[in-house]
Structure 1
Amino acid sequence: MTITSRHNVASMMLAAAGFALFAAGVASAQADCKPVSTFKTIEPGVLKIAAPDMPPFFTYKDGVMAGFEGLFFTRFAKDNCLKPEVIVLPLGGIVESVRNGLADVGGAGLNPTPERGKVVGLTHPIYYSPAVFVGKNPSGDLDSYDGKTLGTVTGFNFNKELETWGKANVKIYDTADAAFADVKSGRLPVMLLGGLNAYYRISLVPNSGLSAVEAKPHPVVQSFNSKGRTNVVHTKGNPELTDALNLAIATMRKDGTLAHNLEEVKLPADVLIPASDAGEN
């Protein structure tokens, strides 16, 4: 064997040894991880997450979750020794993906309605996000849009109620981006959106002339009669996962993580639901 050959063999042996040490270190780190809670997931060791690309609530880029729910899911997965796997879907597909076993958990900004509770698990609420009308000098009175076109986004719980009301031409968009773009350009006179999402989007275009106003209570659209609350939807019939998520929410509320996350994504601190109103006490 030549000197060059012996050098190559030695180099490969050193590389193999280095890789073995690295793999052993990773395995050891994983073995040393002690989960805060114990629960089943669709795939052992993995937390499958379904969420829309909807800042400031959730974004996913280069393998990193961000936004309020993104930060929550990152911490929840880490605390429970799980590898996060993300499926980015339109808002209207989140509940169905969880219902059909494609994801363990889903976000973002979803209200814990009785209808959703029939098909997915629901957690304690996290923050308020009331329905708002977005446009140029919009009215908060639904009846003022009688005979007009009113935009909304698939996945909102008030959509069916708007159809029952039936006095406007309701145009349902697949994404909030598309609806907001049409309002900004004037192609759509007004749209309904979750308040936090609306205020965030308007803040990005300060000279657009757009504003938002909270929807007034209405006898047909019951969703307008109470301030929207958000929660984490998850696989139904998995009470251990429900308990784990509720514990995580309560812990992060108590230790200030949720408030810090709101500040990081530039959302107002007063939207955080207090523990006394979240069913934690």
Structure 2
Amino acid sequence: MALSLSRRLVVCALLAGGSFSVFSTAAKAFELVEQGKLTVAFTGDMPGSGWQDGKLIGYDGEIMQKIADKLGLKIQPALMEWSGTIASVESGRVDVMLGTMGWTEKRANIMSLSEPIHYFKNGIMQSDKTSWDKLSDLEGKKVGTITGFSFVPELKKIKGLELSLYDTADAAVRDLIAGRIDAVIGDPPVVSFAIKKNPDWHMHFLAFTDTNPDFPLLTGLGQVVYGFNKKNDDLRQKVDAIIDEMWKTCAMKEIGERYGLSADVWYTPAGENFRAGVDRPADYKLPSCKTAG
């Protein structure tokens, strides 16, 4: 399976990588796990993140690599399952985590979260013989998702839904292909990328058409962000300044197009701005490639 293969390639690249060069002194002001290096927790699930030729790749990964380069920091890769990424940031074992993570207020309370790097709409990975795009379509179905995803409590509220939790996306997709579950609710970029690379699966992804205030994480517009340890908020602010510049030049979309994220929905905020007055000022406006000057 492509998802499994991508992770194997990441592991091989990490094992084969040579030692990192010693860094000068440009970023000593930051409180880092290892001075001169940005220790990054990532999952290796493409198109979000991967490791190749000593650099982060994937949409999330390539943006983070560019940020680290601008900050004068070397990337120290920390490949792990999704379920361990946030805990690693909280405990200070890594400086930042990425992996198409959506913003939530709960996560904002335990981490310092960056500006969005793109937007997304959750949906259903399913057989191409079905066309489910509503919460009600999942009633009475066997559904898989990933341990630690923010919308798990909302899935549990759907009538008759039988939920299976997985540590990895490839494990969930494997069960879907085998017919052990009916659908997967995963990271939209990850599942869309996997479907595109594997037409023989006969799967497709349909975004939820509901806009249900009782299910905001499932049906609202999501923001993909990076998570930093609270003690590193100064680092987060430096990162945000670079992200803002990338929005202004539409570099986000230029990078995204290399990974199949070409539609405007990935770069145009819509719906309620949940961050205003929470981890951003009350008058906070979400960035947009379309409105960039």
Q: Would you say how many aligned residue pairs link Structure 1 and Structure 2?
A: 252
Q: Deviations over 1:245-277 (max 9, x none)?
A: 101111222234322211222321521247952
Q: What's the TM-score, normalizing by structure 2?
A: 0.78
Q: Residues of 1 paired with 2:211 and 2:94: CA distance?
A: 34
Q: What residue ranges of structure 1 are gaps of 5+ in the alignment?
A: 1-25
Residue of structure 2 in register with 1:87 after alignment = 78
Matched position secondary structure for 2:223: coil
Residue of structure 2 in register with 1:98 after alignment = 89
RMSD: 2.5
Q: Verify: 1:272 aligned to 2:242, yes or no.
A: no
Matched position secondary structure for 2:255: helix
Query: Which structure has more helix as a fraction of its residues?
Result: 1
* CA spacing shift, 1:255–1:57, aligned 2, 3 Å: same
Residue of structure 2 in register with 1:172 after alignment = 165
Matched position secondary structure for 2:124: strand
Residue of structure 1 in register with 2:124 after alignment = 133
Residue of structure 1 in register with 2:278 after alignment = none
Q: Residues of 2 paired with 1:207 and 1:64: CA distance?
A: 31
Q: 1:111 aligns with which of 77, 94, 102?
A: 102
Q: 2:34 aligns with which of 29, 33, 43?
A: 43
Q: Deviations over 1:19-78 (max 9, x none)?
A: xxxxxxx87xx54x856x953322221101001011001012453311011111211111
Comparing 106-115 with 40-49, greater Cα deviation is found at 40-49
- What is the CA distance between 1:219 and its match in structure 2? 5.2
* CA spacing shift, 1:161–1:235, aligned 2, 3 Å: same
Residue of structure 2 in register with 1:15 after alignment = none
Q: Residues of 1 paired with 2:158 and 2:263: CA distance?
A: 34
Q: 2:111 aligns with which of 110, 115, 120?
A: 120
Q: Residues of 1 paired with 2:134 and 2:94: CA distance?
A: 38
Matched position secondary structure for 1:193: coil
Q: Residues of 2 paired with 1:34 and 1:47: CA distance?
A: 13
- What is the CA distance between 1:166 and its match in structure 2? 5.7
Does the 8 Å contact 1:164/1:220 carry over to 2? no
Does the 8 Å contact 1:105/1:234 carry over to 2? yes
Q: Deviations over 1:81-111 (max 9, x none)?
A: 2121011111222111101101111111111
Does the 8 Å contact 1:150/1:192 carry over to 2? yes
Q: Deviations over 1:141-176 (max 9, x none)?
A: 222322221111123210122224463110011111
In structure 2, what residue type is equivalent to 1:277?
A: L
Q: Verify: 1:155 aligned to 2:164, yes or no.
A: no
Q: What residue ranges of structure 2 are gaps of 5+ in the alignment?
A: 1-20, 270-283
Q: Deviations over 1:182-205 (max 9, x none)?
A: 222323211112222222111112
Q: Verify: 1:195 aligned to 2:181, yes or no.
A: no
Q: What's the TM-score, normalizing by structure 1?
A: 0.81
Comparing 249-258 with 118-127, greater Cα deviation is found at 249-258
- What is the CA distance between 1:177 and its match in structure 2? 1.1
Residue of structure 2 in register with 1:145 after alignment = 138
CA radius of gyration, larger in: 1
